[in-house]
Amino acid sequence: MTVATTVIGQSARALRRVVIERVEPEVDGGRFAIKRTVGGEVRVRADIYADGHDLLGAVLLYRPAGESVWAEVPMRAVNNDRWEARFRVEKLGRYVYTIVAWVDAFRTWSADLQKRAAAGQDISVDVLIGAEMVTAAVGRAPGAVARRLAEAAAKLKQSAKANREAALGIALDPELASLVNRNRDLAGDARYEKELAVVVDPEKARFSAWYEMFPRSCTTDPKRHGTFLDCIDRLPYVAGMGFDILYLPPIHPIGRSERKGKNNSTTPTSEDTGSPWAIGAKEGGHKAIHPQLGSLEDLKALVGKAGEFGIDVALDIAFQVSPDHPYVKEHREWFRERPDGTVQYAENPPKKYQDIYPFNFDTERAPELWEELKSVVTSWIEQGIHVFRVDNPHTKPFAFWEWMIGEVKREHPEVIFLSEAFTRPKVMYQLAKLGFTQSYTYFAWKNTSWEITQYFTELQEGDILEYFRPNLWPNTPDILNDYLQKSGRPGFMIRFILATTLAASYGIYGPAFELCEGRAVREGSEEYLDSEKYQIRVWDINNPNSLRDLITHMNRIRHGSPALQQNTGLKFHPVDNPQMIAYSKVCDDPADMIFVVVNLDPHNRQAGWVNVDVAALHLGSEESYRVHDLLTDARYVWHGSRNFVDLNPALLPAHVFRVHSIG
C-alpha cells in the first residue's frame, strides 16, 4: 500500500490539517528546559496554520510535571499566523507545556453565515448545516451540556426558514461556539509533538545580591581564627547593606601536605592557614567542618540567624581534594596516577596547584564517585543549606552535572546552583542548560562602553535568557582586574553601579570590595597582595572610605524597581562620548522605567550628549519628560531624544534615573 493510498484511506475527520511550528520558548529543539521563578510568566508563541481559509482554534496546555491533568489557555492569533498565550508557574519544580490546534469548523461556519446574511443571500440551508454540527457535538458532551447543545440544535432547525434573525442570534452566540469547540471531534486535532519543560526556581534565582566573606577573617586579630559565631556578629553589617545571600568559601578541614603560604608561597610556615580550596585533612573531607571555624551546631546557628535577616547562607562546592583528604587513601581509584606512582595534582600551565588533586571522572569506578559527590551536596542540604556556588564546573563532565543537579532538584527544587565557570561562551551556556541556576559572566573584564554593549547585547539575543541567568561579580578572591587596580574608589563605584543595574543578580567579594582593595601581588597579575585565600585578613569595616552607604542605597533602589529585578528589557542608547555609557531597563510596569548613564573614566570628569531612544521608553519623539535620579534625589526635565549629561567620578560617576512621562 502506498503512502498516498494510506492518507486517502483516512476518514476526513481524522486528517490533521493544522501545522504547528516555530514554538517559542524552546531550547535546542526541546532538549533543555527554560527557567522561571515562582509566580513567573511563560509566554508561548508558535506559527499555527492550515490549508484553505478555515478559521483555526488553539490552546496552550500546561501542568506541573508530576500531575496528569492539563490546564489550558486559549491562544490568540497576533499576526501572520503567529499565535500566543501565557501561563504562570505557581510552585517550585518542573512544569511541561505543549500546544493543540484544530480547524474550527463551527466558527468558520458562523463567520461565513454572517457574511452571507449581510449580502442578502438565502441562509436556510446553511443554518441546517450548522444545526448538524451542533447535533454532532451533543453525543460527545456531558449531560447538562448535551441538553444545552440539543436545545440549540433544535432552535436552529426551527428558525432555518421561519426566523432568519433568530437563527443568526443563535449562530453568533459565543457561548454556543465555546461549547461546540469543547466537545469537538478530537480526532482532527493537531498536537505539537513535544512536551517542553520549565524549571521553576525560588525568587532569589532571578533576583539576588550575593556577599562573599571568609569566615576565618571575621576577626579583629590576625592571629585569632574567625568562627561561625563571629560571622553571626557580622550579619547585621551584611544585612544592613541589603544582601540576601551570604556566600562562604569552603568551610572544610584544610590539608597540610603541599600547603601554600602567604601570597601563594610554596614554602609555608607552621602558622600559615592554607587555602580553603585545598579540601581535606585528618579531621575529614567535604562533609566535615574546619575545627577552628566551630561546630556543626555553630553553623546551624549561623544559618538560622541569617534566615531571620532574610539571608540564605551559600556554601562553596569544590570537587577537588588536598593530598591529605580521606578520599586519597580510601579511593585511590578516583584519582589519576602519574608514571612515577604519584597522584596528578591540578595544573593550568604554567600554574601549578600542588595542594589540590582533581578527581578522575574517566575511571571505571566513576558511578561510585558520582554517587559520593552527590551525597556531599545532599548532606549539606540536610543541614539547612539550599544555595551552592560551584567551583570550576567546566572542568568536570557535562553528563555528571546534568545527572547530579537533576537528581538533587527532583527532591529539593528550592536549591540554587551558581556556576563559577570562566571559560568559553558555549561551555558556559551549556552548563546553564544542563541545570545551573545562575552563572558567572565575563563582566569583570568588560570595561569599555563598546565591550559592555557588545557583551550584554549578546546575552539578550535569541533564547539565551531563557536558560542563562547572569550573575555579575566585579571582583572575586581570584579576580582583581587591572581596572580596579588602577582606578581607586571611583572605579569601584563605577563597577558596582554597572553590576547592580545591568543584571538582576550580582555579587561582591567583601569586605575587599567595599573597602576598595586594589593592591595586586605584582604588576600584570590579578591576584591580590596578601590574598585572603592564603591568610587571615583583618578588615576595618567601619572605615569612612567604605562604599557601604552606596551599596546600601543601590540595593534599596533595586528592591524598589521591578525593572532592575529582571534580565530582560535592557537597551543601550548612543552617547557621543565613548567614555560614557547609557542604557535603559523597562518592564511591564509603566511606572518603572529606569535609565542609567555612567562615566566609565574613573579619573576624569566626562560630559556628553545622550541620544535617548524615546520609543523604547514609550515616549513621543518631541515629548518632555521628568527624570528622577534615584541616587541623589535630583530631578530634571528632559525633552526629546538629545540630552546633556555631565558626571564627575570623584563625586558620583552615574545617574540612575526613573523616567516619568509628563503628559
Burial 344-369 (b: 16+ CB within 10 A, else e): ebbeeeeeebbbbbbbbbeeeebeeb
> Rounded to an integer, what distance in angstroms lies between the CA atom of residue 252 and that of residue 249?
9
| Residue 254: DSSP 8-state | B
CA distances, 233 to each of 237, 301, 305, 366 (Å): 8, 11, 10, 42
Query: Among 212, 230, 312, 420, which one carries the catalytic annotation?
Result: 420
Q: Residue 188: exposed, middle, or buried by beta-carbon count in 10 A (0-12, 13-18, 19+)?
A: middle
**SS3 for 54-66, per residue?**
CCEEEEEEEEECC
> Rounded to an integer, what distance in angstroms lies between the CA atom of residue 391 and that of residue 388?
9
Q: Which helix (H) or strand (E) holds 148?
A: helix 143-162
Query: Among 391, 466, 517, 532, which one carries the catalytic annotation?
Result: 391
Q: Which helix (H) or strand (E) holds 562?
A: none
589 is catalytic: no
- Under a CB-based contact definition with an 8 Å cutoff, are residues 425 and 394 in contact? no
- Under a CB-based contact definition with an 8 Å cutoff, are residues 508 and 514 in contact? yes
Whether the bond between 25 and the residue before it is cis, its omega within 30 degrees of 0, is: yes
151 Cβ contact partners less than 8 Å away, ≥ 6 residues apart: none
CA distances, 424 to each of 28, 429, 451 (Å): 19, 9, 16
Q: Which residue do the cell numbers 492518507 mark?
A: 7
3-state secondary structure of 171: helix
- Joined together, the cell numbers standing for residue 58 give 488553539
420 is catalytic: yes
207 Cβ contact partners less than 8 Å away, ≥ 6 residues apart: 504, 505, 558, 565, 566
> Rounded to an integer, what distance in angstroms lies between the CA atom of residue 634 and that of residue 2?
77
- Under a CB-based contact definition with an 8 Å cutoff, are residues 489 and 516 in contact? yes
Closest by CA position to 95, among listed 166, 201, 204, 210: 201
Closest by CA position to 139, among listed 188, 187, 180, 175: 180
Closest by CA position to 605, among listed 633, 573, 636, 577: 577
> Residues with catalytic annotation?
391, 420
